[in-house]
Chain A
Amino acid sequence: MPRTSRLPLLSSALLGALVLAGCTPSGGDGGARGGPGGTGEPVAGGTLVYASGDAEPTCLDPHVGGNYPQALVSGQYLESLVSRDSDGQIIPWLAAEWTEAADGLSWTFILREDVTFTDGTPFDAAAVAANVEHVKDPETGSSTGYLAMGKVTAVEAVDARTVTFRLSEPDSALLESLSQPWVAMQSPAGIARGIDENCEAPIGTGPFVVDEWVKQDSITLLRNEEYASPPADAAHTGPAYLESIVWRFIPESATRYAALQSGEVDVIDNAQPDTLVAAAGEDGLTELNAPRPGSSNRLELNSGKAPFDDERVREAFIRSASVDAGIETLFFGTAERSYSPLSSVEALAHAEPDLFGYDLDAAQELLDDAGWTQRDAEGYRVKDGQRLTLEFPVSTNQSIPAEQSLFEQIQASTKEAGFEVRLSLLDLSSWYAVLAANEYDVVSAPYTKVGPDVLRILYSSSGITPAPSGYFANHAQVSIPRLDELLTLASQTSDPDARADYYEEAQTIVLEGFYILPLYDQQNHYLLRDGVRGLRALPTVSTPTLYDTWLAEG
């Protein structure tokens, strides 16, 4: 397939050498790019075809549940109170300004003027209150937004443009939480239609409007002609350039890339490592690398039960897992090794590379010390007649083939120390069931959230007890009083330096306790056809925004 589509690409290369001169892979800054070579004046009009490799959402309202596929598409039609710029600073969006009370127990937001939802409902303080209420309503079934609003006890409309959030305790992460698409603002009239109808076509203030959703095929979005509320870091004001967006779902990686090469689609997400390498050799394709915020992609070792309740066994596993060479070859240099529980886009990420060097001899010694001294016929270690077996359930929906191959390599290299790692590839619901039943020893479950407060969700001991929905996020089952204390202090302080210190100590505890094996950032690569200009990833959760995007001729 790549061969046959060379021809049109080659001819377009000959036609537009000027255009190609500006085509270099962009870094992770996510900054908006103007047009190259002096032809940079944005052109309005046209339809952009976006092909997503993520799962098709079951509901287009990101309040319901709250996952990444929802965030990808909802960013085009829903907006949040605040956003984040590429330096990690919170910037105005639907809220123009805000103040925190001296006791930290309330925040007051002044909303932007003259913003209306696309159904004509005015965006005001009452709408904000209705949205938070919707997220917190158990009927909505929100998990991500619900956790983000955990400390919010009440939202009061002081006047039409002033709204006060009352908190149960100070929350240094409130602004970061509010910047996320999972608590975006929707028309109260739209919400009032009920979950089923609202899921089909949520009504927001965004630059596009959901026109039609053909299940298992595509979502059509039309330009909001009245649009007037871009975030503070947008490249222009007024309505979007694109007339419409066709948001398609092409789960198969090779098919998605072939569609991009043939010009059938303009943008693809979830570009796989091998695709990125192939695309780098093709003219007319540009990469946008935007790692997700929140946690890094790491293996979590279940310290809540044997054998990983013994720190020596955890360290032995981490020491005997050889991952560097695998990451290099499987990801073709597109992913960088991480040594932190947090994503590299988080300013407060703390890394400890020294803890994660491969050392088979040290691993053998640790296991001997821990009493795993015997070996059985197959070379696995045995203690009291029990084999050193680790259950490693892998969700096929949440990991790419390269990652599954890396897990196989970890399985092979830890075998030399005497670990038997049992990989099982599971669909999402079976995977959740295995986690809920505590039948796992190793698991990979990256968590996307804006800001370092994700540490509280992942490593606070309260995260071990499953929520009523059965979900829990502390898969490593870390339960350390000092860590709990640090995470609480960090989330309550309004002093940025103290917050940074608390989070650093917390990350050190997690890393030095060998609860996790960090691998790399949560990979998030987009590929764009050459004619697509001004596409950027929002620095909140790295989803693309097509507001500034326009299509160049040719």
Chain B
Amino acid sequence: MSALDVRAAAPTGAVRVRRAARAGAGEWLALAFLAFVVLAAVAAGLLAPADPLAIDPANAFDPPSLAQLFGTDESGRSIFARVVHGAGTSLLIGVAATALGLGLGTALGVLAGLGGRFVDFGVNRLLEVLFALPGLLLALFLIVIVGPGTLTTTLAVGLSTAPGYARIVRAQLLTVRAAPYTEAATVLGVGWWRKLRRHILPNTLAPLLALGTLGVGQAIVWASALSYLGLGAVPPSPEWGAMLAAGRTYLSTAWWMSVFPGLFIVLTAVSGTVLGRGFQRRTRSR
């Protein structure tokens, strides 16, 4: 993907640049939603003053109303408060896991791309082995060894996404190294270190910003999936995936218990993807 993107970037007309730079309504909506999620993560108490752990069995299974925006769960806890308070956990896992995956992936990719033939060969074989295992399986494997919990989930998702990033970084690096402007720099006698710093690395890593935005959405989905399976956040902590799993039992009678956390998982992932694509389009057209 990335190799083609970069090559296509060369011929650009003025019209195309302008269209790409203008953010559409979808992007604004995505940005607004993410802003809400980030605000919830930073200052949950501001948006939902109710205690997400406070039980009230007498008011269990209340459907959404003005008093309880998203209804209540089986113990009478406010779903809205839980979704808002859960944003921090979900977002933190998403961002930390992606940062871990990207960081590790970049290190491996750069090592492979610059390390010479033998290092490249070694790293590539390692990546191929890791690729043979589906990412989620790799995450499950790590959790079985270390035990469930939020930190483990973050590590597991992060490590499982690293091989994908590594391969993209390596491919990008090889393309940039062979690009005309890099060759021009070589011909002009620019030093190796300076060439790496000024030309190769910036052009390799810029597209990663877009990838990272896409990755956060995916990491949140993965982390939720692990929590859904009971391998992530521990009860009764308000984590979106765990809430979804708890609501599953009551799907036919209290749909709001799983619909709202599910909606937040989907919307966060979609918003991340929409913004990520936007970034990608812009870096491509620059």
Which residues of A are at the interface with B, using a C-beta cutoff of 8 A?
Answer: 1-2, 253-254, 272, 274, 277-278, 322, 325-326, 328-330, 396, 401-402, 404-405, 408-409, 411-413, 423-425
> Which residues of chain A come closer than 8 Å to B234, judged between CB atoms?
423-425
> Which residues of chain B come closer than 8 Å to A278, judged between CB atoms?
252-253
> Which residues of chain A come closer than 8 Å to B74, judged between CB atoms?
329-330, 402, 405
Which residues of B are at the interface with A, using a C-beta cutoff of 8 A?
Answer: 53-55, 57-58, 60-61, 74-76, 230, 234-236, 246, 248-253
> Which residues of chain B come closer than 8 Å to A424, judged between CB atoms?
234
Q: Are B60 and A396 within 8 A (Cβ)?
A: no
> Which residues of chain A come closer than 8 Å to B60, judged between CB atoms?
329-330
Of A272, A328, A425, the residue contacting B235 (CB under 8 A) is A425
Q: List 22 A-B contacts (CB under 8 A).
A: A2-B252, A253-B249, A274-B250, A277-B253, A278-B253, A326-B55, A329-B57, A329-B58, A329-B76, A330-B60, A330-B75, A402-B249, A404-B235, A405-B75, A408-B55, A408-B75, A408-B236, A412-B55, A412-B236, A423-B234, A424-B234, A425-B235
> Which residues of chain A come closer than 8 Å to B248, judged between CB atoms?
254
> Which residues of chain B come closer than 8 Å to A274, judged between CB atoms?
249-250, 252-253
Shortest distance in angstroms between A254's beta carbon and chain B's nearest beta carbon? 7
Secondary structure class of chain A's binding surface, majority of residues: helix
> Which residues of chain A come closer than 8 Å to B253, judged between CB atoms?
274, 277-278
> Which residues of chain B come closer than 8 Å to A396, judged between CB atoms?
230
Closest to B249 in A: A401
Closest CB pairs A-B (n = 10)? A325-B57, A329-B60, A401-B249, A412-B55, A408-B236, A326-B57, A405-B74, A329-B57, A409-B55, A409-B75
Bound-state Cα–Cα, A402 to B61, Å:
13
Interchain pairs with CB closer than 8 A, number: 62
Q: Are B252 and A425 within 8 A (Cβ)?
A: no
Bound-state Cα–Cα, A274 to B73, Å:
13
> Which residues of chain B come closer than 8 Å to A330, judged between CB atoms?
57, 60, 74-75
Closest to A412 in B: B55
> Which residues of chain A come closer than 8 Å to B236, judged between CB atoms?
408, 411-412, 423
Shortest distance in angstroms between B118's beta carbon and chain A's nearest beta carbon? 44
Of B53, B58, B61, B250, the residue contacting A412 (CB under 8 A) is B53
Q: Are B246 and A405 within 8 A (Cβ)?
A: yes
Bound-state Cα–Cα, A404 to B251, Å:
17
Bound-state Cα–Cα, A254 to B254, Å:
13
Q: Are A328 and B57 within 8 A (Cβ)?
A: yes
Q: Are B75 and A326 within 8 A (Cβ)?
A: yes
Shortest distance in angstroms between B256's beta carbon and chain A's nearest beta carbon? 14
Shortest distance in angstroms between B92's beta carbon and chain A's nearest beta carbon? 20
Closest to A396 in B: B230
Bound-state Cα–Cα, A278 to B253, Å:
8
> Which residues of chain B come closer than 8 Å to A253, judged between CB atoms?
249
Known: A274-B252, A401-B249, A408-B236. A425 touches B230 (CB 8 A): yes
Shortest distance in angstroms between A281's beta carbon and chain B's nearest beta carbon? 10
Known: A402-B74, A405-B74, A424-B234. A272 touches B249 (CB 8 A): yes
> Which residues of chain A come closer than 8 Å to B252, judged between CB atoms?
1-2, 254, 274, 278
Shortest distance in angstroms between B37's beta carbon and chain A's nearest beta carbon? 25
Given contacts A330-B57, A402-B74, A408-B236, 17 further A-B contacts (CB under 8 A): A2-B252, A254-B251, A272-B249, A274-B253, A278-B253, A326-B75, A328-B57, A329-B58, A329-B60, A330-B60, A330-B74, A401-B249, A402-B249, A404-B235, A412-B53, A412-B54, A425-B235
Shortest distance in angstroms between B233's beta carbon and chain A's nearest beta carbon? 11
Bound-state Cα–Cα, A1 to B230, Å:
24
> Which residues of chain B come closer than 8 Å to A402, judged between CB atoms?
74, 249
Bound-state Cα–Cα, A330 to B53, Å:
17
> Which residues of chain A come closer than 8 Å to B57, judged between CB atoms?
322, 325-326, 328-330, 409
Bound-state Cα–Cα, A330 to B230, Å:
20
Bound-state Cα–Cα, A408 to B76, Å:
12
Bound-state Cα–Cα, A322 to B253, Å:
24
Of A2, A325, A411, the residue contacting B58 (CB under 8 A) is A325
Shortest distance in angstroms between B36's beta carbon and chain A's nearest beta carbon? 28
> Which residues of chain A come closer than 8 Å to B250, judged between CB atoms?
274
